[in-house]
Amino acid sequence: MIKLRHQQPSLWHRGLAEELEGLWEPWMRLVDELLEDEQLLDTVYEAQEERHPQSRSRGRMQTPAEVLLRLLLLKHIGNWSYDVLEREVRANLVYRAFTRIGDEKVPDAKTLARLGQLIGAKVIEQLHQRVVELAQEQGVAQGRKLRVDTTVVETNIHYPTDSSLLEDGTRVLTRTMKKIESKTGGLKRKVRDRMRSIRKRVLAIALSTPAVGAARRRTEKAAVSGAWSLAFSSPRTHRSTPCTSRSHTVGERRK
């Protein structure tokens, strides 16, 4: 069962409200006023409703839409995981007040992750659109320009090697020639995909690790053989490129 807000705060929460008010960060005061908008809450409420057909009247009580929206916003601003979000809100009275949880139970990390999946790209777009409308109404922004703030994501680096560069070049050429073949309705020579054999050769070269004695000589021989096979397989694909270009030109002239 879903609901829009928690019930009226308890006397315990009211007694702490005045003391906690001076501890709020400046951005919290501005965002708190913005999140009072009913249309923002209705957007999240409707997204929760789509989780199950009868979510409004049946099932266990879910996290209110108001609390969910504020929790996800706090997670985004703090760049936290769901585990960190749960721990911080449980231990911090200011965060409890901002998220409108008060003395209620904080949702666990797994529940927050499931609820976060409900707020997909479509819902986020609706929320952003409403925020822009509020900014226009208050004269903060005209809504004619879009500013994007991107983030850097850590990932593994693909170090280039001679074999991997040959593989990448062959893959791009094969993909391009197949696109030309599909758009022209066929070429004089059929485009052959040699990526399977090339991947095997690249893998054989990558797995050739230093060994000792006879094993080392066998490994070096296999690596050299794989390198030569790869070197001869790639030009076969490359030699098809001029033919493909000529066929594509002839096809256009015929049209």
The confidence score (pLDDT) of residue 248 equals 47
Higher per-residue pLDDT: 22 or 88 = 88
- Are residues 133 and 168 part of one domain? no
Inside any domain, residue 147: no
Q: Could you tell me the residue range of the domain that residue 84 belongs to?
A: 11-137
User: Residue 177 in contact with residue 240, Cβ under 8 Å?
Assistant: yes
- Residue 247 confidence (pLDDT) above 60: no
Inside any domain, residue 155: no
Q: Is the dihedral of CA 149, 154, 156, 157 positive or negative?
A: positive
* DSSP single-letter state for residue 101: -
- Residue 100 confidence (pLDDT) above 80: yes
- Are residues 129 and 196 part of one domain? no
- Are residues 132 and 57 part of one domain? yes
**Which of 121, 137, 153 lies at the terminal end of a domain, its last residue?**
137
Higher per-residue pLDDT: 85 or 188 = 85
Inside any domain, residue 142: no
- Are residues 131 and 16 part of one domain? yes
- Residue 83 confidence (pLDDT) above 90: yes
Q: Tell me the two tokens of residue 152.
A: 């850097």
**Number of domain units in the chain:** 2
Nearest to 122 by CA among 38, 50, 31, 61: 50
- Residue 45 confidence (pLDDT) above 80: yes
- Are residues 181 and 115 part of one domain? no
- Are residues 129 and 172 part of one domain? no
Distance CA 197, CA 225 (A): 13
pTM of the model as a whole: 0.53
The confidence score (pLDDT) of residue 235 equals 53
The confidence score (pLDDT) of residue 88 equals 94
| pLDDT mean across residues, the chain | 76
Inside any domain, residue 224: yes
Q: Burial-class residue 97 by CB neighbours within 10 Å (0-12, 13-18, 19+).
A: buried
The confidence score (pLDDT) of residue 216 equals 56
- Are residues 211 and 117 part of one domain? no
Model pLDDT for residues 147-171, shown as the tens digit of each residue: 777 777 777 777 777 777 878 888 8
SS3 170: helix
- Residue 188 confidence (pLDDT) above 60: yes
Inside any domain, residue 39: yes
**Which of 137, 170, 200 lies at the terminal end of a domain, its last residue?**
137
- Are residues 116 and 26 part of one domain? yes
Calculate mean pLDDT across residues 219-239: 58
Q: How confident is the model at residue 215 (pLDDT cuts 50, 70, 90)?
A: low
Range of weakest confidence among 65-74, 75-84, 92-101, 237-246: 237-246
Model pLDDT for residues 136-148, shown as the tens digit of each residue: 888 877 777 777 7
- Are residues 130 and 221 part of one domain? no
Range of weakest confidence among 77-81, 83-87, 160-164, 205-209: 205-209
Distance CA 207, CA 87 (A): 45
Distance CA 53, CA 63 (A): 17
Model pLDDT for residues 57-73, shown as the tens digit of each residue: 666 677 888 899 999 99
